[in-house]
Amino acid sequence: MPKALPLTLLVLLAGALAVYAALLAFLWWKQESLMFYPVPLPADYPLAQEPDVHERTVQVKGATLSVLHLQNRDARGVVFFLHGNAGNLAGWFSNADFYRQAGFDLVMPDYRGFGKSTGHIASAHDLREDVRAVWDAVAAQYAGKRVVLYGRSLGSGLAADLARQLAERGRAPDLTVLVSPYTSIRALTREFYPWVPPALIRYPLDTAAHLPHIRGPVLLVHGENDTLIGVHHAHRLKEVLPSARLLVLPGSGHNDVHDHPSYRPVLREALLGL
């Protein structure tokens, strides 16, 4: 007959399982604090620093979202920009001149708890519905004009999701730009924490699943040396949607994509070509 495991070994195994279970419970309940790094701002903080930039608010269930809106005279269209998982509009809304020169308005919201937005992110459903609510609040102004959805890092999955929703509603964007994109948050988590069960991730944000349902051109941009979201994610998305254009920026990492000399010319060309 097989020998019973020594009591000491059983105790060690039980302890290891208890620690593992505690870690998983922590990840489940504290997921937001590990994924999102908002920087709040006082309610009276002056975000709009130029006369053609306006502060807006959009009411959603349980929160008020802060939005900056660059409005050009005779704009050709709008870029709806979804930023990354840290900071706020004070740092992200920094390329207004680029969009002015291209003849596009720029709409950028802060997520719940970021900047002057109230509330806190509690679910992927919150994120998805909030993004759609902000878009719906401005969409009528751009009927008949060019619509560009732009997602950066965290925002890339949200932009892909919104692009799919709009396509399914018969209002597909004219261009979808995904910068530093991931195939899914679950896939990204698996690379850093292979011991975490995928089902534990409450924010799947599955860009690869949305991509084939997007109508219109897609531009993928990724830093070759990105150590946070590896460039292989962009290559995988290109495989999922072969018609997408992929721009890999040599020497760029995750946070310096906008500084690469090829980035602005390619984006400008894409905007002016609409």
Residue 56 belongs to some domain of the structure: yes
Question: What's this model's pTM, rounded to 2 decimal places?
Answer: 0.92
Query: CA angle 231-236-240, nearest 5°?
Result: 150
Question: Token digits for 42?
Answer: 């006082």
Residue 237: predicted pLDDT:
99
Residue 23 belongs to some domain of the structure: yes
CA 94: distance to chain centroid?
Answer: 17
Residue 1: predicted pLDDT:
46
Residue 199: predicted pLDDT:
84
Q: How far apart are CA 184 and CA 232, in angstroms?
A: 12
Residue 95 belongs to some domain of the structure: yes
CA 218: distance to chain centroid?
Answer: 15
Residue 104 belongs to some domain of the structure: yes
Q: How far apart are CA 92 and CA 232, in angstroms?
A: 25
User: CB–CB of 179/262 below 8 Å?
Assistant: no
User: CB–CB of 126/111 below 8 Å?
Assistant: no
CATH number of the domain within which 12 lies: 3.40.50.1820
Residue that the structure tokens 């195939």 belong to:
183
Q: How many domains does the chain have?
A: 1
Residue that the structure tokens 């894409």 belong to:
270
Query: CA angle 67-260-157, nearest 5°?
Result: 45
Residue-number span of the structural domain to which 185 is assigned: 7-272
The bridge status of strand 146-152 relative to strand 104-109 is unpaired
Beta bridge partners of 81: 150
User: CB–CB of 86/38 below 8 Å?
Assistant: yes
Residue 108 belongs to some domain of the structure: yes
Q: How far apart are CA 143 and CA 170, in angstroms?
A: 13
CB atoms inside a 10 Å sphere around CB 77 = 21
Residue 1 belongs to some domain of the structure: no
Residue 2 belongs to some domain of the structure: no
Residue 173 belongs to some domain of the structure: yes
pLDDT tens for the chain, 274 residues long, are 455 556 676 666 666 666 666 666 667 677 898 899 999 999 999 999 899 999 999 999 999 999 999 999 999 999 999 999 999 999 999 999 999 999 999 999 999 999 999 999 999 999 999 999 999 999 999 999 999 999 999 999 999 999 999 999 999 999 999 999 999 999 999 998 887 888 888 999 999 999 999 999 999 999 999 999 999 999 999 999 999 999 999 999 999 999 999 999 999 999 999 9
